[in-house]
Amino acid sequence: MIKGDSGIIVIQGDTYQKSVIIENVDSELIDEIYISCKDLGINKQLEYDSENDKFVFTLTSQETINLKSMTTTFDITVYFTDSKVKTVSYKSSIQVLPKTNAVNRNEQ
């Protein structure tokens, strides 16, 4: 039901963005989509990009900087306008990698 790879790799302190396209479902039938990861404390609604007919998951650098470095799993859950609920991605891999080489933009 999801188009493409559903894995996520995040580097601490970096902004992360992932597009999610639900295949064979009219986007007007979708009420909300959430990504959830209990181990990382993520429960975030995806924003709808009507111009490109896709949903976008975004983590800001302020959100990723404090994520614990680990490999764990996440789910993507779709809530439809007719009150149905479908987990379209179950126990997909998410990796949070430590930022090991810091950049100092003031020293150039």
3-state secondary structure of 84: coil
- Structure confidence at residue 79 (pLDDT): 98
CA atoms within 13 A on the CB side of 86: 12
Q: For residue 45, is pLDDT > 80?
A: yes
| pLDDT at residue 104 in the model | 74
Indicate if the pLDDT at residue 68 is higher than 90: yes
Q: Decide: 18 and 101 in contact? Cβ < 8 Å.
A: no
Q: How confident is the model at residue 102 (pLDDT cuts 50, 70, 90)?
A: confident
The answer to whether residue 1 scores a pLDDT higher than 70 is no
Please tell me the total number of residues recorded for the chain in this structure: 108
What pLDDT, on the 0 to 100 scale, is given for residue 100?
87
